[in-house]
Amino acid sequence: MLSATRIAPCSSTGPENYHDLVDSWVWWLIAAVGLGIPLVLTAMPEFGMVAVGAVAGALTDALGGGIVLQVIVFCAVSVALVAVVRPMAVRSRRQQPGLRSGVEALKGRQAVVLERVDDSGAGRIKLAGEVWSARSLDPGQAYEPGQQVDVVEIDGATAVVM
C-alpha cells in the first residue's frame, strides 16, 4: 500500500528572495559591466564614466556603506566624471585640429607628376607613396613629369592639383 508523505514547508531561516543570495556589491559590478557594453558598442565615453560610478558604489558597499551612501557615491562619481572629464576631453580634441585622416589628410600635400597632368583627368601623380589619377584645377594649365604640384582636393579617385 502506498503511503502519502508530506513535504515540509521551507524553513524561515533561508534567504527571503534571490537578492539575499548575492551581495549588493556584485549587483553594482553587474551594472558596471552592463554599462560597459554600450560603451564598447557606441564608443560613447559617458557610459564608461557612469560605469566607474557603479564600481565606486560597489566599493562603498564592500567597505560597509549602506544603500543610501552607495547611491550617493554612485551619483556623485558619475556626475563628477561627466561634468569634469567630458569637457576636458572635448577641449583637448578641439585643440588638435591637425588630426586628419583618409582623403582629408591628403589635401594640401605635395605630389610629383608622373604623367602629364591637365584638366582632362588623364594624368598621374605620386601622392603619399601611391599613384593617383590627377587633373589640374585651372583649365588650360598643364604640369609635366617631374614637377611638384599641390593637392587641392580629392574628387572621387582623382586628385585635383595646382
Residues 27 and 87 in one domain: yes
The pLDDT of residue 9: 52
Residues 87 and 141 in one domain: no
Q: For residue 42, what pLDDT is reported?
A: 82
Is 25 among the domain residues?
yes
Chain CA centroid to CA 134, Å: 35
Q: Cell for 2? A: 502506498
Q: Verify that 79 and 120 share a domain, yes or no.
A: no
Whether residue 17 has pLDDT greater than 80 = no
From CA 60, how far away is CA 63, in angstroms rounded?
5
Range of 141's domain?
105-161
pLDDT tens digit sequence for 111-121:
999 999 998 88
Is the whole model's pTM more than 0.85, yes or no? Answer: no
* Shared-domain flag, residues 80 and 141: no
Top mean pLDDT of 10-24, 78-92, 106-120 is at 106-120
Return the minimum-mean-pLDDT range out of 6-15, 55-64, 81-90, 113-122. Answer: 6-15
- Report the domain count for the chain: 2
Q: Provide Rg for the chain, Cα atoms.
A: 32
Q: Which three cell numbers stand for residue 77?
A: 562619481
Q: Last residue of a domain, which of 94, 115, 144?
A: 94
Whether pLDDT at 77 is above 90: yes
Among 39, 63, 94, which residue terminates a domain? 94
The domain boundary residue, chosen from 65, 94, 123: 94
Q: Residues 86, 67: one domain?
A: yes
Kindly state whether residues 82 and 113 are assigned to the same domain.
no
* Total number of residues shown for the chain: 162
Residue type, 4: A
Q: Is position 4 within any domain?
A: no
User: Which of these ranges, 35-49, 84-98, 132-146, has the smallest mean pLDDT?
Assistant: 84-98
Q: Are 39 and 84 members of one domain? A: yes
If one counts every other C-beta atom within 10 angstroms of the C-beta of residue 97, the result is 7
CATH of the domain at 111: 2.40.50.140
What secondary structure does DSSP assign to the chain, as a single string?
-----PPPPPPTTS-SSGGGTS-HHHHHHHHHHHHHHHHHHH--HHHHHHHHHHHHHHHHHHTT--HHHHHHHHHHHHHHIIIIIHHHHHHHHHT-TT---THHHHTT-EEEEEE-B-TTS-EEEEETTEEEEEEESSTT--B-TT-EEEEEEEETTEEEE-
Q: Do 89 and 144 share a domain, yes or no?
A: no
User: How much is the average pLDDT of 141-153?
Assistant: 93
In this structure, the answer to whether residues 69 and 118 fall within a common structural domain is no
**Residue 10 within a domain:** no
Structural domain contains residue 15: no
